[in-house]
Amino acid sequence: MSQQPVLLPYGDPAFVTDPFPLYRQLREAGPVRRAVIAGGLDAWLVTRYEDGLAALSDPRLSSDIRDAADPRLVAQLPETERESMMSNMLRSDPPDHTRLRRLVSKAFTARRIAELRPRVQEITDRLLDEVVPAGRAELIADFALPLPVTVISELLGVPLDDRYEFQQWTDDLLVRGERPPDPAVMNEAWRRMRAYLTKLLEIRRSEPADDLLSALISARDDEHRLNEDELIAMVFLLLVAGYITTVNLIGSGIAALLAHPDQLRLLRDDPELLPDAIEEFLRYDGPVSPGIARFAREEVEIAGVSVPRGATVLIASAIADRDPARFSDPDRLDVTRRDNGHLAFGHGIHYCLGAPLARLEGHIAIGTVLRRLPDLALAVPPADLNWRPGGLRGPLRLPVTFKP
């Protein structure tokens, strides 16, 4: 099928603020649409739920960027660091994926994560203690960002004092907007990040502690279950995946509630609804938007459309999660919604490793904000929230007022 690619207009503030009208048009226009996505890349968007679910467990669709035909995809990664950047589980297929994921899966089981509850609550309360007396806050910088950064840093054993540096490098490494990222900026950011992680590993090698970093070092040095590139790539992935999306879940969730006072009231009146509400925030406006990339290892037919070998296939979870064939009244935020099998954490072998942690943090963060900040209201018009353009979505700022 020859289609003119649709441009996702990341330069248009109206689209960045609210992409859902265009998402809807794309879904209604067909199950597979060619589109120019963030970074100016050409992709085949899978827009409907059932097709998305099937594509996410289709072994012909690879997670390894080296299976992509578009040379820009690999070229935009810093040249000297390609191997180490591509050696993480998110970008691997079995058997490497299976081996790498197994190394850390025990640390992220629902049971292990539940043990973190008191500590996550303590960090949450401490952050809110700082803002409560003022009666106003910028909830991203003051709260939604430092909470998951602190939690993942503690879990891994990364010194919290270093967070400003690694946040800056991570920001430089993220693809956003319409234009391809600047390779020089990315190169420099990765060089610094890699040097930082190498030094951190050296320190932990000489002083092991009861943290994930030390456990991974032992898997590398004593058991030879991963190589040094993979070790660095793993720590980087866990550190970055461990906070960047969760900030967006907390920010988008609170923004959605402030835009829907009836749902806010329901949740305040019945905090038991919180677990369902978190799933609904993920479905309604999830942090990964429009979705999850794969590369066609061979020519593949998806919903009757032939996708050529090497094509980038973007399983558009954020579009599929509003598919009326799967969700009733899908454009409505409904914190009482049940049977919410959204795709915001993906599906299949790469299903988000950190989902139990993200849910715990989202639950505690939003629940505590509702309990401790009465009369919560936006301090700016909703159009001024400044949403992050690109493959990750969430408000970059969330100024609010409340009763101190």
Work out which of 19, 242, 389, 390 binds ligand HEM, going by CB under 6 A: 242
**Residue at shortest CB range from ligand HEM:** 354
- Among residues 196, 226, 264, which one has the least CA distance to residue 104? 226
Residues from 48 through 67 that contact ligand HEM (CB under 6 A): 63
Give the nearest distance from C-beta 278 to ligand HEM in angstroms: 9
Work out which of 345, 360, 389, 394 binds ligand HEM, going by CB under 6 A: 345
Residues from 243 through 282 that contact ligand HEM (CB under 6 A): 245-246, 249
Which tokens in the block code for residue 327?
């969700």
364 binds ligand HEM (CB under 6 A): no
What is the spatial distance between Cα 334 and Cα 276, in angstroms, rounded to a whole number? Answer: 9
Residue 8 vs 358, nearer CB to ligand HEM:
358
Which tokens in the block code for residue 387?
């949403």
- Among residues 155, 158, 123, 122, which one has the least CA distance to residue 142? 123
Question: How many residues are present in the chain?
Answer: 404
204 binds ligand HEM (CB under 6 A): no
Burial environment of residue 106 by CB neighbours within 10 A (0 to 12, 13 to 18, 19 or more): exposed
Give the nearest distance from C-beta 287 to ligand HEM in angstroms: 4
Burial environment of residue 177 by CB neighbours within 10 A (0 to 12, 13 to 18, 19 or more): middle
Contacts 24+ apart (CB under 8 A), 191-195: 191/78, 191/80, 191/81, 192/165, 193/166, 193/169, 193/236, 194/81, 194/84, 194/232
Work out which of 22, 145, 193, 237 binds ligand HEM, going by CB under 6 A: 237
Q: Which stretch binds ligand HEM (CB under 6 A): 25-33, 120-128, 129-137, 239-247?
A: 239-247
What is the spatial distance between Cα 260 and Cα 262, in angstroms, rounded to a whole number? Answer: 6
Work out which of 120, 215, 344, 385 binds ligand HEM, going by CB under 6 A: 344
Work out which of 37, 45, 116, 357 binds ligand HEM, going by CB under 6 A: 357
Binding site for ligand HEM (CB under 6 A): 63, 89-90, 101, 237-238, 241-242, 245-246, 249, 286-288, 292, 344-346, 350, 352-354, 357-358
